[in-house]
Amino acid sequence: MGEKVVAGTFDLADRQRYRDKLRQCLAGLERLLAEQRFDRPKNLMGLEIELNLADPHGMPSMLNAQVLERIASHDFQTELARFNLEVNIAPHRLSGPVFDRLSEELRTSLAYAHRKAGELDAGIVMIGILPTLDADHVVPSNLSAADRYTLLNDQIVAARGENFALDIDGVERLTCTSRSIAPEAACTSVQLHLQVTPDRFADVWNAAQAVAAAQVAVGANSPFLFGRELWRESRPPLFLQSTDTRPPELQAQGVRPRTWFGERWVTSAYELFEENLRYFPALLPISDDEDPISVLDAGGVPSLAELVLHNGTVYRWNRPVYDIADGVPHLRVENRVLPAGPTVTDVVANAAFYYGVVRALAEEVRPVWTRLPFEAAAANFDTACRYGIDARLVWPRQGRLSGTSEIDAVTLVREELLPLAAAGLDAWGVEPADRDFYLGVIDERCRLRVNGASWQAATFHSALEKGLDREAALAATTRRYSELMHLGEPVHTWPVGLPEPAPLG
């Protein structure tokens, strides 16, 4: 939630007014859709990456305000905790050598930020969850110094009414409690935006939902949390549990969590915004003075501020976005499933795979979502998070045979999804050399069964075998990861284990 809000308390009148404004906003959105007021196709993509700050020992560094002051760029912003930053890349048109341009821009931005952080004895680490984080780092006092984070924390804590319970059972099991949403800050992600017209929105969103599991399987990069080895991509269960406004009784009743994969395929963007109002109480009932219907009657474009704010407090893994650029409204699908890192090349390869495969799946004559039950797509997502590149997923059978079957994620990606991604990038007009290089990175990950999570786990266990204790092994793994991340070669090429010390003399 990037809104600039002021910390304070809300009374019953605030909540009633906000609910009324949400209904007006939804009516305004419905009218905008009916009147076809949205932007024409522009083939625009955007990218945000959440980052960690770490000291030379690999430990989290609580210096984001000081680092941002030195960076002095609007491209970089605070995130939830003092060890987080976020970098936003300006929209790019999906055509030509777009991914090479994106890579160069990211490398330049991150290298600059890393240099500036180095002036404070810190550095940028692009990783899903920093392995050296422990529960003592994610406490309210380490939330970023911004009213919006304090207010969001207070409202989620008040809605839940008790401590948050974390219970993630993976390779090992983690159980602990937190009195704030601060553990959510452990999750650092890549968000991929795609601007779409209203008539294409549902197909793109459904395609993104269907392919989310494959994205996670090849891109997992978060195997550790608070000293435990958990799921290969531990962010989703952590995010769900650390923002869960439902006490156990509401969970038992089937009340939906605010961090949500969803429960059905859709036919329009409107359905998702309407669901958000129907299922989720307001966390931040902050209203402005705009009357969206009056703005529409006058020929203007309403900001729908309350709808946008509320939408930002429902954490769908593929989120609908309403926004205005140059006075014209548009819709975006925001894909939020991927962890940050390991390298710029890996991030851009993940993006190329996503934009290509979503384009191809959205344009299929028999769309995958007409052949794959939504429940299977949701189960695939959990499976991919748990097992990463070794996951087995349920997918529609090829050819005339109906039904689904279970298939290795790497086989599905190599034999079916990568060819679709290549065709999708061709349809976008992406340069063949760009297409082949970045999709080749995904292919090699699958061939070698190596991604960020598998490398982290293998290197950690190698460090244990060399006699390091658990804490030292996690720190050494983090330092080695950071070194290789900044060298920039994709993760499937990284040697497993810690380097041998240089001989003396």
| pLDDT-based confidence at residue 500 (cuts at 50, 70, 90) | confident
Partners of 322 in beta bridges: 331
Lowest-confidence pick of 161-165, 419-423, 452-456? 161-165
Cα separation, 40 vs 325, whole angstroms: 12
291 in Cβ contact with 335 (< 8 Å) = no
384 in Cβ contact with 237 (< 8 Å) = no
Consecutive H or E run containing 169: strand 164-169
Q: What is the mean pLDDT of residues 81-86?
A: 96
Helix/strand/coil for 365: coil
Nearest to 248 by CA among 167, 306, 324, 172: 167
What is the percentage of the chain residues whose pLDDT exceeds 90? 89
Token reading at 324: 């205005």
Q: What is the mean pLDDT of residues 210-218?
A: 98
End-to-end CA distance of the chain: 55
- Would you say residue 82 has pLDDT above 80? yes
Q: What is the mean pLDDT of residues 93-119?
A: 97
* Cβ atoms within 10 Å, residue 78: 20
Neighbouring residues of 433: CB distance < 8 A, sequence distance ≥ 6: 97
Q: What is the mean pLDDT of residues 134-144?
A: 92
Predicted local distance difference test score (pLDDT) of residue 401: 67
CA 494 from chain center: how many Å? Answer: 24
Predicted local distance difference test score (pLDDT) of residue 14: 87
Consecutive H or E run containing 2: none
- Would you say residue 176 has pLDDT above 50? yes
Q: Can you give 152-199 as a three-state secondary structure string?
A: HHHHHHHHHCCCEEEEEECCCEEEEEECCCHHHHHCCEEEEEEEECHH
Site of tokens 């069964």: 449
- Would you say residue 45 has pLDDT above 50? yes
Q: Which amino acid belongs to residue 357?
A: V
Predicted local distance difference test score (pLDDT) of residue 502: 59
| pLDDT-based confidence at residue 400 (cuts at 50, 70, 90) | low
- Would you say residue 402 has pLDDT above 70? yes
* Cβ atoms within 10 Å, residue 20: 12
Cα separation, 65 vs 405, whole angstroms: 50
Q: What is the mean pLDDT of residues 362-378?
A: 96
| pLDDT-based confidence at residue 434 (cuts at 50, 70, 90) | very high
Which pLDDT tens digit goes with each residue over 112-127?
A: 999 999 999 999 999 9
Q: What is the pTM of this model?
A: 0.96
| pLDDT-based confidence at residue 3 (cuts at 50, 70, 90) | very low
DSSP string, 229-280: E--TB-HHHHHHHHT----HHHHHTTPPPSEE--SS--S-HHHHHHHHHHH-
Cα separation, 306 vs 2, whole angstroms: 13
| pLDDT-based confidence at residue 287 (cuts at 50, 70, 90) | very high
Cα separation, 217 vs 338, whole angstroms: 10
Cα separation, 36 vs 296, whole angstroms: 12
Predicted local distance difference test score (pLDDT) of residue 252: 94
- Would you say residue 505 has pLDDT above 60? no
323 in Cβ contact with 174 (< 8 Å) = no
Q: CA-based angle 144:156:180, to the nearest 5? A: 55
Phi, psi for 430 (deg, rounded to 5): -75, 140
Alpha-carbon distance values, 231 to 47, 236, 252, 374, 415 (Å): 25, 10, 24, 22, 26
- Would you say residue 50 has pLDDT above 50? yes
User: Cis ω on the peptide bond leading into residue 342 (within 30° of 0)?
Assistant: yes
| pLDDT-based confidence at residue 148 (cuts at 50, 70, 90) | confident
What is the percentage of the chain residues whose pLDDT exceeds 70? 97
Which pLDDT tens digit goes with each residue over 289-304?
A: 999 999 999 999 999 9
Lowest-confidence pick of 21-25, 105-109, 154-158? 154-158
Nearest to 378 by CA among 316, 464, 469: 316
Token reading at 197: 């017209």
| pLDDT-based confidence at residue 150 (cuts at 50, 70, 90) | confident
